[in-house]
Amino acid sequence: MTSKTEEVATEPMHRYSAKAVKCVVDALARAEDRLDEAILRGEFPRGTFLKEVVHKFTSKPFMDADQLTEFRTVEQLYAPEEVLVALWVILENDCGEKGLLPALTVERERGELVVILR
């Protein structure tokens, strides 16, 4: 029996479901919107890339606990490494985002597992 992570490693172009891709695309769009708003407020100069300031957005995770649960359920991902591989593959292949890496962390205030970008 192989895990999803092992299956992805052996498939040249593993494709995730449209719903899973939408979860990641929507999360990336929200992060980019937050950056655009910060640029408009003058917090960052125009032309700033998300990769350059992603550490400043740690107060708002890339995916909160509910969004992460939805993503995991859609793809039936259970192990943390399966989640991270799926997020990374979708970010790179479907979003064209090669500079940001997903990470799982615990949101301290609520004690919930969330996704941040590094």
pLDDT tens track for 41-78: 998 899 988 888 887 766 689 999 999 999 999 999 98
Residue 102, strand partner residues: 117
Band (pLDDT 50/70/90 cuts) for residue 14 is low
Say what the pLDDT of residue 110 is: 86
Band (pLDDT 50/70/90 cuts) for residue 40 is very high
Say what the pLDDT of residue 12 is: 46
**CA–CA–CA angle 42, 45, 47 (5° rounding):** 135
Say what the pLDDT of residue 53 is: 86
CA 60/CA 72 separation, integer angstroms = 19
Supply φ then ψ for residue 54, to 5 degrees: -60, -30
CA 23/CA 4 separation, integer angstroms = 18
SS3 17: coil
Q: Is the pLDDT of residue 82 over 60?
A: yes
